[in-house]
Amino acid sequence: MKKPVTTSRLFFPQYLQKAKAKALEQNKKLRVMFQDEARFGRICDPKRCWSPKKIRPVVSEQIVREYTYAYGAVSPCEGDFDGFILPTMHAQALEIFLEEISCRYPENYIIMVMDGAPGHSAHDLKIPKNIEILKLPPYSPQLNPSENIWDEMREKWFGNETFVSMDAVENRLVKAIRTLEQSKDVIKSIAGFPWILDAINTF
């Protein structure tokens, strides 16, 4: 297994310079992606919402402990988002997701930036040949633009809604993922952190 390394803002541009050299050796284009997972289910917590003056909005609330997981990877420079729905956050699920990303971008050498979750750190994790994993520093979700994608998804597609079944949850999740996968400008505005774009565009 290829050994992951840990990233920080200070050495990120230098790391990408070396990664670009690896990409050229394989006759591929370098692509930088940020990966994360999020849990979606049938628990609904009421959120603030707009309503006409002097009218108190009424929203539903429920606590049903049924979940599924959305895996996502965002390319801040290109404005691409790739989503996948899987039942767990185990290493085997991550392997399925990485293989899917590898197949979607066979002409790219991908730097996949992710956090140090247990499922990301399995010793026998199988990583496709055109993907290299780069670990974020511990306790730094603010460095991962994928976190903002989940916020967008929850606000636009899941706010103050209850679902009668997990099929309903997954159908809504599919709709959200497909919409974001076709919304390059939205993704760029959400995920285009200046320090990331500066590092990518340096080379």
**Percent of the chain's residues with pLDDT above 90:** 69
Q: What is the mean pLDDT of residues 120-127?
A: 88
Residue 44 pLDDT greater than 90, yes or no: no
Q: Tell me the pLDDT band of 118, cut-offs 50, 70 and 90.
A: confident
Banded pLDDT at 45 (limits 50, 70, 90) = confident
Stated pTM of the model = 0.88
The answer to whether residue 170 scores a pLDDT higher than 60 is yes
Per mean pLDDT, which range of 61-70, 106-115, 143-152, 174-183 is the poorest? 61-70
Does the structure show a pLDDT above 90 at 190? yes
Rounded distance between C-alpha atoms, residue 140 and residue 135, angstroms? 11
For all residues of the chain together, what is the average pLDDT? 91
How large is the average pLDDT for residues 42-46?
84
Query: Over pLDDT 70: what percentage of the chain?
Result: 95
Q: 């803002």: which residue's tokens?
A: 9
Q: What is the pLDDT of residue 99?
A: 97
Residue 5, pLDDT > 60, answer no
Residue 6 has pLDDT above 60, yes or no: no
What architecture is domain 5-47+60-201? 2-Layer Sandwich (3.30)
**84 DSSP β-pair partners:** 71
